[in-house]
Structure 1
């Protein structure tokens, strides 16, 4: 049975407990063993994190000890998946650039605040993670993020929709959903999810379900790759001794 850890907390405005409950329901429905924690100390046991298939942060803003970030990073580099949404993953720990590097982006603005009507445009053919999902409309915060150029973009939204100092620039397509790699691990992010009702939208919930499972499945491939490297090393050592 695959194992997942969901850690929620930070700013209450993003309804972290309710969002964590949705993710726990999804994963338990997929026969995962799920632990849910409301403290960052859940990241303190590095060996435990290394043994997980998936880590799901649901923590907006706040502060985190560097050692805890290092523990999560070590686990992901060794194949543990990392997946999350909205401010719960890419507006966590604004002062920690290592977290931002690992997750692939950082929130900087949501022009118009909550209730902006916009289209989430799926990049058809970009990944099986979005296969069969059509473009859809939402009314929520439209996240403007600073993005790692290494991410693989699966969905976007067009800016500007509302007026602001950014509107005098040319129109840009801002990533909404992306994947990236961190060492041997898989990272998945979806900028939707300002409140739990947005996460519960059919399209968003399905995107998250696929992303959570995809990130967790990377552990199997990571273990296989590690074993292959060990086998190559053993073979080379035998050859050198002959």
Structure 2
């Protein structure tokens, strides 16, 4: 039975359809409703310009890969988070949004740079996204294992896109993933990137998980648990 709605969540979804923004977010809306959120859904980040609506929003779940947002929308988002609105999401829906906006990148502190493909002799010339699916491990940091988002979760394996993330040191990193340096790569040593992180922005909290390229990844028990917990943790 869903809890009586006492808080407000805004789901902003759209952008590149390859990340299945509707199907992906639909997986988590019942979770929010069961935890007492009244959920509103929008298909454009321009809702962020509505100051009254944003002030009344306790959590924003964003799944909007690439695309654009106006300066006013990004300013509205930053203002709302600084005042206490929570902000969370996964994969490109939050870590590869609004590449046109330096202010958005500053807000997030971590930005998708690439997901290396399989080695050349493993590529299917007629293949699609599967050419970018690699086996990798998400490593929970020892010092953060008691954080409410990851407590009780062990390191886990995935076969999907592995994100190389450009990031600053204001992130509170909960888990990392290490990208190999293969003979076919231009880089010469392994690169460790944040895979799960939080960020305090004014009075607001930000939560990001980089796994989540496709619905089956979101259904992985550890990924789903992390996202469900992360959204609740971020909320006002």
- Shorter-chain TM-score bucket reads 0.7 to 0.9
Instruction: Find 2:141's aligned residue among 109, 113, 123.
Output: 123
1:200 equivalent to 2:219? Answer: yes
- d(CA) in 2 for partners of 1:115 and 1:162? 15
Aligned length: 216
Contact 1:46–1:72 (Cα < 8 Å) also in 2: no
In the other structure, the counterpart of 1:165 is 185
In the other structure, the counterpart of 1:100 is 105
Larger Cα-atom Rg: 1
In the other structure, the counterpart of 1:175 is 194
Q: Deviations over 1:178-231 (max 9, x none)?
A: 011111110110001101211121111100011100100xx3xxxxxxxxxxxx
* Higher percent of residues as helix: 1
Contact 1:120–1:156 (Cα < 8 Å) also in 2: yes
RMSD: 1.4
- d(CA) in 2 for partners of 1:120 and 1:196? 18
- d(CA) in 1 for partners of 2:112 and 2:201? 20
Aligned pairs for 1:1-242 within 5 A: 1-112=6-117, 114-126=132-144, 127-160=147-180, 164-168=184-188, 170-216=189-235, 219=236
Seen in structure 2, the aligned counterparts of structure 1 residues 166 and 47 have a Cα distance that, compared at 3 Å, is farther
Q: How far 1:162 sits from its partner (Å)? A: 5.1
Structure 1 stretches of 4+ moved >3 Å: 161-167
In structure 2, the gaps of 5 or more residues are 1-5, 118-130
Q: How far 1:9 sits from its partner (Å)? A: 0.3
Contact 2:148–2:229 (Cα < 8 Å) also in 1: no
When normalised by structure 2's length, the TM-score is: 0.87
When normalised by structure 1's length, the TM-score is: 0.85
